[in-house]
Chains A and B, each alone.
Chain A
Amino acid sequence: MDRRQFLLLGATAAGVSACHAFPGLEIPVRVDMPGMALGHQLRDAHAWPAATEHRDVDTLILGSGVAGLTAAWQLQKHDYRNYLLLSGPEPLGNTAYGDAGRGLRYPKGAHYLPFPTRSSTHVRELLADMGVLVSGEHESHPYYDEAAILHAPDERIWADGKWSPGVIAPVAAHSESARQQARFFRWVEQLKTQKGSDGLRLFDIPLVLSSQDDDWRRLDMMPFSRWLDQQGYTDSALRAYLDYACRDDYGAGCTHVSAWAGLHYFACRDGHASNGADGGLLTWPEGLGRLTQWMYNRLPAANVMAGSAIRIQEGQHNVTVDVLAGKTRMTIAARRVICAMPLHVLKHLVSLSDYGFDVPQQMPPHAPWLVTNLVLQGFPPEKDGEPLAWDNVRAGSDGLGYVVATHQWIREAMPERTVFTAYRNLPQFSPDAARKWLLAAKPADLFDAAMVDLDEVYGRPRLWRHAQYAEITVRGHAMATPAVGFLHNAGLAALRKQDGRLLFAHSDLSGLSLFEEASWWGYQAAQKILG
């Protein structure tokens, strides 16, 4: 019996609650709310110091998330040099990652990419440039670097006291539940290749390349849950899974999400690989930070500046952007500006109604998102059933499960340290109420909320034996929710079309928060600059 076991014995005997009374026994919890301070100052019309410096540039990119970096990568690739990327409050944005030392990286946001569709030429180009897509960039089944393809075992679900394969709680064969599940997946499988009256795929990525066929776009006007009811998809295990999928990608459950978006989730993912089974995906220990960091590393230091835009004014001949860089304030005059930041921030910097976007009526709801990284010394013991997988979910949970950051490592032995990344949002609240709760919550409350799945499947004392520290990244406005009617949002359509001095690039323009969408708009903006 070692020291930890003695401590554990004492801790358990004294009761878990006692540990709350002795803060020294708690795992250190670090809470990070990227961009919040600046965002709230902008909202509250903070008084900024006067500008002391001035700079001119041809193209200014505001933001270093997926959209901004994709735009910069394209400009750089086409030998366009007169640009400046302003990194914004959080470099790499929603794909930021952390490092727990000795090469142990973990995601603080988005963490995987399904095999790109044929229409996602922009993503395929990026992967090919990186060497992740080895050959067949323009074919239906490209050959990918297998190290990046998600390794087996990919997923498992905790239901009835044991782990089963898959992400749907197991049901009896030949039961009504099994029939409904089979019917649903047959249906979406068929939708994957089905085309509308205009010859385009019904559901595609990027979303704007989907069919305009009104017979299908009409689905956008009802909630996904109603459509499921109408179609007789009432099985509770199936519905729990569909709700999980919507919360995971859209930040809200089936009752909020548009039926078109609900089907898009399943039917759009028609990418293949010649060396991986259909439905596979690409992932890295640091999540999608691998992609954005690669693009970032390509940019010359002179073309990148740390700082954030606080005001944008379009003039006769150029655009003036007020910038906060550390403590100094400066103005940058640019011929054209790519606004690669979320709309809920951008609305405080520029009057969006001038560009056809009505903020009160057309702003998509943004759902909050908690990413909790638990750094572990050794792996906690596993319970019955399937072994530890990449994605581990719990049936009927408010949480979204946890992902193992070292899963893609190729090693002889289990690594000495690992990171479990627990994802969670707060669907029981409206986005506004959830943000209020997040603002008021103490680190211990956030930690408890983040631990709903890990507590249940390991028990907190067992995790304590291994946990070194936890890092919670709170993203108050993490993702746009494709609510009912999002596809018909005329304001978003207007921003997408802009081709003047101000260009817009963000996944918000698609109304849903996917890497492929963000990167598509970054790519489009760069093409507009390059002409």
Chain B
Amino acid sequence: MVDRLLVFSVFVVASCGLAYELIAGALSSYLLGDSLLQFSSIIGCYLFAMGVGSHFSKYIRDEDALTRFVDIELLVGLLGGISAALLFVVFAWLSAPFRSVLYALVFLIGVCVGMEIPLVMRVLDRQQMALRDLVSKVLTFDYLGALAVSLLFPLVLAPQLGMIRTGLLFGMCNVAVALWTTHLYRQHIAASTARLVKGGVILGGLLAAFLYADRITHWSEHGLFGDEVVYSTTTPYQRLVVTQWKDDLRLYINGNLQFSSKDEHRYHEALVHPLLTSLPWARQVLVLGGGDGLAVRELLKYPQIEHIALVDLDPAMTQLFSTSPRLTALNKGSLRNPRVTVVNEDAGQWLEQHSRMFDAIVVDFPDPSNFGLGKLYSVPMFRLMSHHLAEHGRLVVQSTSPYFAPRSFWCIDATLKEAGFNTWPYHTYVPSFGEWGFILAGKTKDFTPPAKYPIPLKYLDDDETRRMFRFPADMSPLKMEPNRLDNQSLVHYFEQDWHEVSR
């Protein structure tokens, strides 16, 4: 009976051994990419380490075999259990030695796991089991354990628990085997009580870590973003991270700051109100980008607007800003307002395939940081918008910084003019971004900046509006060529301008 339990422990031990290998492989593929390289190098390192472990098992004397088995289980439980958490934290805080830590950890765990089976076999051998039964039983359960985990890991554990918790769970299994073995064979094990206590402490530690695994993920992302991460997700299009520090909520897309709740009202009031206050008759409004719903929040302040269509690529983004209580408190639930329709489609495609007309268009696209995004600021794209704009309607385009990226800003201005628009560039100061620019454009020439606003605003007033439409000497207009699609000068300007700033 007792021996049968020992053989069952082989099943558990084998499961845990494979689990650590899979966790290391999956985690490094996730963090470093190139899954082929990660998996094969980790499997190789791990199997080699197991061989080293098996080799060294011969230096353990027969009478110590059971005691050392317990010690090794405790060590594997601890190392394997915290492996995923440790790797995450190392990756977030000290990215340079990540690979060294990864392979050292895999090697250490491999050495310990390599000693397990030889030791169990020797313990059972001492208990006079026939060799053929012994080998057959131990190896059967060894391989069965491997099968169980190889299926459980990708199908249940990794998706349900995540890497960190899965690691901790298997660590606890190893420790449980150690405690159980100590309990059953206490006569044969030196200092069995001390080992039970040690095991209990490790088990408690792992359990605590299991319960607080979410905090570990937070700490590691905190290392990347500086503030506490309250939400993060990777969508097919981008990585969204929302952080909070006291009452400051921030949204990062692919690591770039999109807004800070401290001052986003400056950006969004400047983006929306000069345009809409100048169009008191506007009923239909289109918003391109702006899935955070903050521009829409400002638009909804105009009771005459009947309908707002928001076209944003990423359903995860609009979903997040429609449902998360912290974020809907910020955008005042704008995306769920009955006057608003959210369309999750690529703006370029949507404009090509639909023919609806709008009185105003608010363009809040990402900055032109690559050739794909640069095309959004091109003559054909602006002409396409023009086809959707009423004859006396106007649009506004977020246009990067006229202070930090002046060539980019004035290039967008020239591109709008080339597309047949009259333009009225303006700028404002947003503390978390610095000086930021917008361009208001229309088919007719009759725009004058509003002298007063019909609705209460936090930031904009007549003085500030006058100041916005003036460009002081250090931001004076540059004569630029339009962003032609055959060379996409805007993308080059944007890269060079910001490179100079960040130097």
Interface set of A (CB-CB < 8 Å, partner B)? 1, 5-6, 8-9, 12, 145-147, 149-154, 275-277, 280, 387, 409-414
Contacts and interface: CB of A to CB of B under 8 A. Distances in A.
A1 B26 contact: yes
A146 B380 contact: yes
A5 B25 CA distance: 12
Contacts of B380: 145-147, 410
Q: Which of A152, A411, A412 has the most CB of B within 10 A?
A: A412
Contacts of B485: 146-147, 149, 151-152
Interface in B462-491: 482, 484-488, 491
Contact of A151 (B26, B349, B366, B375): B375
B376 A410 contact: yes
Contacts of A275: 379, 418, 482, 484
User: Which among B313, B346, B347, B384 has the greatest number of chain A C-beta atoms within 10 A?
Assistant: B346
Task: Name the 9 nearest CB pairs between A and B, nearest first.
Answer: A147-B380, A152-B488, A151-B485, A411-B348, A410-B348, A410-B375, A276-B486, A146-B379, A411-B346
Contacts of A147: 380, 485
A19 B370 CA distance: 37
B276 to A, nearest CB: 24
Contact of A1 (B29, B379, B487): B29
21 contacts: A1-B154, A9-B36, A146-B484, A149-B484, A152-B486, A152-B488, A153-B488, A275-B418, A275-B484, A276-B484, A387-B370, A410-B376, A410-B378, A410-B381, A410-B384, A411-B372, A411-B375, A412-B347, A412-B365, A412-B366, A412-B376
A149 B346 CA distance: 22
A413 B26 contact: no
Majority secondary structure, B binding face: helix
Interface in B20-53: 25-26, 29, 35-36, 39
A149 B485 CA distance: 7
Nearest to A461: B36
B486 A413 contact: no
Interface in B321-350: 346-349
Given A413-B237, A413-B372, A277 B36 contact: no
Given A9-B36, A410-B380, A413-B237, A154 B486 contact: yes
Contact of A12 (B36, B154, B371): B36
A459 to B, nearest CB: 10
A395 to B, nearest CB: 23
Query: Interface centre among A6, A150, A151, A414, by most B CB within 10 Å?
Result: A151
B135 interface: no
B348 A409 contact: yes
Contacts of B491: 152
A8 B29 CA distance: 14
Nearest to A150: B486
Contacts of B60: none
Contacts of A154: 486
Interface in B207-221: none
B451 interface: no
A8 B349 CA distance: 33
A102 to B, nearest CB: 10
A12 B40 CA distance: 11
Contacts of A413: 237, 313, 346, 372
B373 interface: yes
B486 A151 contact: yes
Interface string B269-308: 0000000000000000000010000000000000000000
A152 B370 CA distance: 11
B37 to A, nearest CB: 11
B486 A280 contact: yes
A287 B487 CA distance: 20
Contacts of A411: 346, 348-349, 372, 375
Interface residues of B, number: 35
A154 B379 CA distance: 18
A152 B371 contact: yes
Contacts of A9: 35-36, 39
Nearest to A279: B486
A151 B379 CA distance: 12
Contacts of B375: 151, 410-411
B147 to A, nearest CB: 16
Contacts of B366: 412
B493 to A, nearest CB: 13
A30 B491 CA distance: 39
Nearest to B314: A413
Contact of B372 (A1, A146, A414): A414
B39 to A, nearest CB: 6
Contacts of A409: 348
A157 B419 CA distance: 33
A146 B378 contact: yes
Given A150-B486, A410-B348, A413-B372, 9 more contacts: A1-B154, A12-B36, A149-B484, A151-B371, A152-B488, A276-B486, A277-B484, A387-B371, A412-B347
Contacts of B488: 151-153
Contacts of B484: 146, 149, 275-277
Nearest to A389: B371
B155 to A, nearest CB: 11
Contacts of B349: 411
A149 B484 CA distance: 9
Contacts of B348: 409-412
A6 B379 CA distance: 44
A149 B378 CA distance: 12
A5 B39 CA distance: 11
B346 A412 contact: yes
B313 A412 contact: yes
A151 B371 CA distance: 9
A145 B154 CA distance: 51
A276 B378 CA distance: 13
Q: Max chain A CB contacts within 10 Å: which of B25, B373, B375, B418?
A: B375
Contacts of A412: 289, 313, 346-348, 365-366, 372-373, 376
A5 B154 CA distance: 12
Nearest to B288: A412
A453 B406 CA distance: 41
Nearest to B482: A275
Contacts of A145: 380
Nearest to B418: A275
A1 B29 CA distance: 8
Contacts of A387: 370-371
